A and B are shown apart, each in its own frame.
Chain A
Amino acid sequence: QVQLVQSGAEVKKPGASVKVSCQASGYTFTGYYLHWVRQAPGQGLEWMGWINPKSGGTNFAQKFQGRVTMTRNTSISTAYMELNSLRSDDTAVYYCTRVGTYSSAWYYFDYWGQGALVTVSS
């Protein structure tokens, strides 16, 4: 069965960086784009960007341009999202999620990781 398993909660100081991992199983990792979506406490969902696990190509929301990096390691079917220059308003649960159709850059999200809480506090 398809699973996306994310790394655990992190506490970071303002200005630091955080790297969240998302390990995929149960399907061909390179066949499906992965996106990252975050959710601040008590708030809605915010799209951050995507990575093509096959090519490593990425696309980010303008809000995060210059501050986010998305990478992958195909040998271990794992995607990573690194966010730099953290601020208190980056405190959120970060989700990885899979596009539901083969080789589509975006469409609908059919599987989600369990989320990783990142807390930014001095």
Chain B
Amino acid sequence: DIQMTQSPSSLSASVGDRVTITCQASQDISNSLNWYQQKPGNAPKLLIYDTSILETRVPSRFSGGGSGTEFTFTISSLQPEDIATYYCQQHHDLPLTFGGGTKVEIK
């Protein structure tokens, strides 16, 4: 199975800050990496697929990059509504696996 390791597990930042989350795969997954946002009590929401493609109607302050085993997810200017937990997910091979999540809070 492909293990996905996210860091940090939580972070606290101020409104307007640039926030970056990393996701490391245990083997080369090319660009087969998706990112989801989950707010408390809600289902996950797709933000980015194939490493860097923004889902429709997702704000442009969200972006993703990387390839192979190292990936990043960035919020260019943190907004209060971005408070959530973010998960990466690989779709290179079955079983599909998720990172452990990064909880983003406002300082």
Contacts and interface: CB of A to CB of B under 8 A. Distances in A.
In the complex, which of the residues B95, B97, B99, B101 has the most CB atoms of chain A within 10 Å of its own CB atom?
B95
Contact of B94 (A45, A46, A106): A106
A45 B87 contact: yes
B65 interface: no
Interface size class of B (residues with CB under 8 A): 20 to 34
A115 B44 CA distance: 10
B87 A44 contact: yes
Contacts of B44: 45, 95, 97, 109, 112
Interface string A102-122: 000011111011110000000
A107 B87 contact: no
Interface size class of chain A, counting residues whose CB lies under 8 Å from the partner chain: 20 to 34
A115 B99 CA distance: 20
A100 B46 contact: yes
Interface of A: 35, 44-47, 59, 61-62, 95, 97, 100, 106-110, 112-115
Interface of B: 34, 36, 43-46, 49-50, 55, 87, 89, 91, 94-101
